Chains A and B, each alone.
Chain A
């Protein structure tokens, strides 16, 4: 059966304000939540694997991989509750690993598991690196389709046709499997993922699905393997290190105007932009 590896991480709640320490961010009391783009990645995999007319038939096994302290796996449990089949945790503080090491860990797990697809979120909302999917593809020598907005799985030809969000519009790229896909926001629109089995006009519920009560109960029984970076032969070389984290300069306070006339007048004479 087709195997899909989905990478997920936890991030500090993006709706909470940041605490600056001078040299970095104070994360000691943050609430950790799943990265939104990783929720899209898991949803993408679930849609690829789902036969909507025959819930008993599954088109793929979904393995969720996270690099995190093994005791802090709430996000992993959530993704298993959404419907992923099993998990792999690489027990490490991901904040201590550089991007190259994280990518090597993922590539090694993908190889060891013999997966057909690696699906990642486009970026993590905290670090915003937007590199891991591309790096994993480079390390494995696999094709890649980044910033995916729509996917068609061509099972007969063992390939994906991917609509990618690029600066000029949308690029359609066909990639043979195995391959790496990084997903963008619009992949979770109702008709964005087609697996060739579901009716062409099938619409999924908008956005990543919520875990059902049954899913939550089932998640506790699903298998989660725990490994260490050393098990996978990966050491971090500190290719990138933090020198400081600062608050961006705020914008100068603006002014409120009362009327459209006043606005246009000020734009023309004060800001000189008209």
Chain B
């Protein structure tokens, strides 16, 4: 029977939390189509599947493909595995959270199956029509996908994480050939941080060009740690080499939607706003009262960061006791 299939990512035998919104989006599509939801776990072994199956997440089944060539992740091997699973399970919709992993391998799999893909879905209008932002979030496109198989990736910040439900049965898909096509993953230079990931943090504190140099980010780091948040930056700041490139928030960086976003010395270029305007509460501190960032801010303060930030940290600290 036809089904909606979600591709999951695991680490250390556990489901990665950023996959949960993708499951929620898939559930909406499954409900709109009247189809069951199924989950796909790929990896060197299927050790994560038992825990995922116990949580269920509203799925009717959990399927595993275990193959040493699936770890570390390569788009080549995962693309092959997803194509195989789609065919053998008879899935008509395949997708998941728009992580860098799925944005890499799902279009590849979709091309092999000659299927359309709707990327960065922010709303499910019907079983085949999805909304996604275009032009740096300045417009919302309602896009209809046609075909026996369609693909999607869902923007993690726009769907509530799927909740655990009744347990689902696990079954293995055997005899899958995957080919890494000679590629080799040498390693991942992880951002060393005791802080939560930018895309998963409840609070994000970002600095922009106005911070002038990397050492000035220290005061933002203090605030970040006080709030238990993640540190971000505008493209102007990362381009200038003030902070590492992977801290960039915006169309060309990470899309975030925390509960609280604090933009310091950021003017608010369109491409930066595209990456953070989904945040629940936005605070802007900038010395230029005309800066576009104030148009999206819930609370704006016209001030130099040198004056405002130390006092801000002090007051928050006092409140936290």
The answer on a CB contact under 8 Å between A167 and B252 is no
Answer whether residue A171 sits at the interface, using C-beta atoms and an 8 A cutoff. Answer: yes
The answer on a CB contact under 8 Å between B301 and A257 is yes
**How does the 8 Å CB contact mask read for A246-269 relative to B, with 1 for contact and 0 for none?**
111001101111111101101110
The answer on a CB contact under 8 Å between A127 and B134 is yes
**How does the 8 Å CB contact mask read for A169-211 relative to B, with 1 for contact and 0 for none?**
1111111100000001110010000000000000000000000
Answer whether residue A146 sits at the interface, using C-beta atoms and an 8 A cutoff. Answer: yes
**Which residues of A (91-122) have their CB < 8 Å from a CB of B?**
98-100, 103, 122
Max chain A C-beta neighbours (<10 A), residue from B99, B114, B125, B145? B114
Q: How far is the CB of A261 from chain B (nearest CB, A)?
A: 7
The answer on a CB contact under 8 Å between B146 and A274 is no
Question: In the bound complex, how far is the Cα of B312 from the Cα of A143, in angstroms?
Answer: 50
Of A62-70, A223-231, A236-244, the one with at least 4 CB within 8 A of chain B: A236-244
**How does the 8 Å CB contact mask read for B272-314 relative to A, with 1 for contact and 0 for none?**
0000010011110000000000111111111100001001100
Answer whether residue A18 sits at the interface, using C-beta atoms and an 8 A cutoff. Answer: yes
Nearest B residue (CB) for A240: B116
Q: How far is the CB of A179 from chain B (nearest CB, A)?
A: 8
The answer on a CB contact under 8 Å between A239 and B116 is yes
Of B53-61, B176-184, B205-213, the one with at least 4 CB within 8 A of chain A: B176-184
**How does the 8 Å CB contact mask read for B82-108 relative to A, with 1 for contact and 0 for none?**
000000000000000001110111111
Decide: A166 near B101, CB < 8 A? Known: A238-B146, A261-B315, A274-B316: yes
Nearest B residue (CB) for A185: B252
The answer on a CB contact under 8 Å between B187 and A172 is yes
Decide: A169 near B136, CB < 8 A? Known: A134-B104, A251-B296, A273-B281: no
Question: In the bound complex, how far is the Cα of B151 from the Cα of A98, in angstroms?
Answer: 14
Answer whether residue B63 sits at the interface, using C-beta atoms and an 8 A cutoff. Answer: no
Nearest B residue (CB) for A133: B107
Question: In the bound complex, how far is the Cα of B309 from the Cα of A42, in angstroms?
Answer: 42
Interface of A is mostly: mixed
Answer whether residue B171 sits at the interface, using C-beta atoms and an 8 A cutoff. Answer: no
- Measured between beta carbons, the chain B residues less than 8 angstroms from A176 are 181-183
- Measured between beta carbons, the chain B residues less than 8 angstroms from A15 are 270
Answer whether residue B147 sits at the interface, using C-beta atoms and an 8 A cutoff. Answer: yes
Max chain A C-beta neighbours (<10 A), residue from B108, B117, B141? B108
Partner among A125, A171, A260 whose Cβ is within 8 Å of the Cβ of B311 = A260
Nearest A residue (CB) for B83: A138
Question: In the bound complex, how far is the Cα of B129 from the Cα of A6, in angstroms?
Answer: 32
Question: In the bound complex, how far is the Cα of B311 from the Cα of A179, in angstroms?
Answer: 53
Q: How far is the CB of B191 from chain A (nearest CB, A)?
A: 5
The answer on a CB contact under 8 Å between A128 and B119 is yes
The answer on a CB contact under 8 Å between A142 and B181 is yes
Decide: A255 near B298, CB < 8 A? Known: A126-B134, A171-B187, A248-B138: yes
The answer on a CB contact under 8 Å between B139 and A18 is yes
Partner among A137, A167, A257, A273 whose Cβ is within 8 Å of the Cβ of B18 = A167
Question: In the bound complex, how far is the Cα of B299 from the Cα of A244, in angstroms?
Answer: 33
- Measured between beta carbons, the chain B residues less than 8 angstroms from A130 are 103, 107, 119-120
Answer whether residue A2 sits at the interface, using C-beta atoms and an 8 A cutoff. Answer: no
Decide: A243 near B144, CB < 8 A? Known: A144-B75, A254-B300, A255-B299: yes
The answer on a CB contact under 8 Å between A138 and B116 is no
Partner among A172, A240, A242, A257 whose Cβ is within 8 Å of the Cβ of B189 = A172
Answer whether residue B39 sits at the interface, using C-beta atoms and an 8 A cutoff. Answer: no
Partner among B133, B143, B189, B311 whose Cβ is within 8 Å of the Cβ of A170 = B189
Answer whether residue B127 sits at the interface, using C-beta atoms and an 8 A cutoff. Answer: no
Partner among B119, B120, B183 whose Cβ is within 8 Å of the Cβ of A143 = B183
Nearest B residue (CB) for A249: B140
- Measured between beta carbons, the chain B residues less than 8 angstroms from A144 are 75-76, 104, 108
The answer on a CB contact under 8 Å between A248 and B140 is yes
- Measured between beta carbons, the chain A residues less than 8 angstroms from B112 are 138-139
Decide: A274 near B259, CB < 8 A? Known: A138-B108, A257-B301: no
Q: What are 12 inter-chain pairs, A to B, with CB distance below 8 A?
A: A18-B138, A128-B132, A131-B107, A147-B104, A167-B197, A240-B143, A260-B303, A264-B316, A264-B319, A273-B203, A273-B280, A274-B227
- B residues within 8 Å of A by Cβ? 18, 74-76, 79, 99-101, 103-112, 114-120, 125, 129, 132-147, 150, 181-191, 197, 199, 203, 227, 235, 239, 245-246, 251-252, 254, 259-260, 270, 277, 280-283, 294-303, 308, 311-312, 315-316, 319
Nearest 6 pairs of A and B residues by beta carbon: A239-B116, A135-B111, A138-B111, A134-B107, A138-B108, A131-B107
Known: A165-B100, A243-B142, A260-B301. 17 other contacts (CB 8 A): A18-B138, A100-B111, A131-B110, A134-B104, A134-B108, A137-B111, A138-B109, A139-B111, A149-B245, A174-B186, A176-B181, A238-B146, A240-B143, A246-B142, A255-B298, A257-B300, A264-B312
